[in-house]
Structure 1
Amino acid sequence: MLDKILNYRLLPAVIWLGLVLLAMLSPGDKFPSTPQIPHKDKIVHFGLFFVLNLLWMRVWVVEASKDKKFLKLFTSYLVFGIIFAILVEYLQLYVPNRSFDYYDIAANMLGAAVGVICFYILYKMDSKLV
C-alpha cells in the first residue's frame, strides 16, 4: 500500500523536476515571445519552485513518522529551496542566452519557502491536496 502511495506521489514530483530542469537549462532564445509583464521571469521562478517544493514534500511526508515531519519539511526546503535553486542558476552560466542572477535565486527560494508554508497549512487542515 505504501508503495502505491509513494508511486502516486513520486511520479508527479519527478515529472515536475524534469520540467523545471528543462525550462531552466534551455537556451534563452528557444522561448516564444510573450507579452511584456514586469518581472515575469521572477514570477515564473517563484511558481516553478513553489510547485516543486510542494510536490516533493508530498512524497517525503508520507514516509515520515510524526516526530520526523518537521525535519522532512526543513530538508525539502534546504534541498529544493536553497541548494537546487543555486545550482540550477549557476548552471545557466553555461547555457546560451541565459545568465546567473541573484534575484532569480531569491525568487526560487521564496517560492520554495511559500510552498513549505502552504504545504504545512494544508497538512494541518487534513486537506486532500496533501
Structure 2
Amino acid sequence: MNKKKYFSERLLPAIMWSLILAWLILSPGNKLPDVSKVPGLDKIGHFGLFAGVLFFWNRVWNHFQKPFSKSKFITNHLVLGIIFAILVEWLQQLAPYRAFDLFDIAANLLGSAVGTICFYILYKKKSKLV
C-alpha cells in the first residue's frame, strides 16, 4: 500500500474519529446537547465513540504488525483500551461542567473491547474493511 493510500484509507479516518471523540468528550458540558432526557444515551455515546476509535486505530496498527500475532494483538489492544478509557475520563473532569464517572469508564471499556473484537473478526474473515 503506497503512503498516500495508507494515509487516506487508514490514518485519516483514525485521526478524524479521534478528533471527534476528543471534541465531544472534552467540550464543556454546557456546550453540548442535554442527553439526560433519554436514559443511557450518554453511555451509548461513550460506547460508540470508543468502539469506533479502537476499530480505526486497529486498522492503522495492523498495517505494521506483520506477521499477525493473536496474543500480542489482544494484549496490546486491551491494555491500550483500558489506559485510553481511563485517561480520557480523567481528562474530562478538567473541562467545565463535566465530571469523572465510573459508568462512563465502563462504557468506554466495553466500546473499546467491541471495536477491537469487530476488527479481529473482520480481519479473520479477510474483509476489505480492515
TM norm. shorter chain > 0.5: yes
Task: Deviation per CA, 1:37-82: give whole Å up to 9, x if none.
Answer: 2111110000000000000000011111124454244323322x11
- Partner residue in 2 for 1:13: 14
The TM-score with structure 1 as length reference comes to 0.89
Question: Is the Cα contact below 8 Å between 1:57 and 1:73 reproduced in 2?
Answer: no
Question: Is the Cα contact below 8 Å between 2:13 and 2:56 reproduced in 1?
Answer: yes
Question: Is the Cα contact below 8 Å between 2:35 and 2:42 reproduced in 1?
Answer: no
Structure 1 segment 1-130 matched on structure 2, within 5 A: 1-7=1-7, 8-34=9-35, 36-68=37-69, 70-79=71-80, 81-130=81-130
Quote the sequence identity (%): 50
Question: Is the Cα contact below 8 Å between 2:51 and 2:112 reproduced in 1?
Answer: yes
Give ranges in structure 1 of 5+ residues lacking alignment. none
Give ranges in structure 2 of 5+ residues lacking alignment. none
4+ long deviations beyond 3 Å: 67-70
What is the CA distance between 1:2 and its match in structure 2?
4.3
Question: Is the Cα contact below 8 Å between 1:53 and 1:77 reproduced in 2?
Answer: no
State the Cα RMSD in Å: 1.8
What is the CA distance between 1:15 and its match in structure 2?
1.1
> Which structure is higher in helix share?
1
Change in CA separation of 1:118 and 1:48 when aligned onto 2, cut-off 3 Å:
same
Task: Deviation per CA, 1:12-54: give whole Å up to 9, x if none.
Answer: 1011111111110000010124582211111000000000000
Question: Is the Cα contact below 8 Å between 2:35 and 2:41 reproduced in 1?
Answer: no
Q: Distance in 2 between matches of 1:68 and 1:5?
A: 24
SS in 1 for 2:93: helix
Question: Is the Cα contact below 8 Å between 1:49 and 1:112 reproduced in 2?
Answer: yes
Q: Distance in 2 between matches of 1:49 and 1:107?
A: 8
Question: Is the Cα contact below 8 Å between 1:82 and 1:109 reproduced in 2?
Answer: yes
Q: Distance in 1 between matches of 2:73 and 2:11?
A: 15
Deviates more, 1:98-107 or 1:2-11: 2-11
Structure 1 letter corresponding to 2:26: L
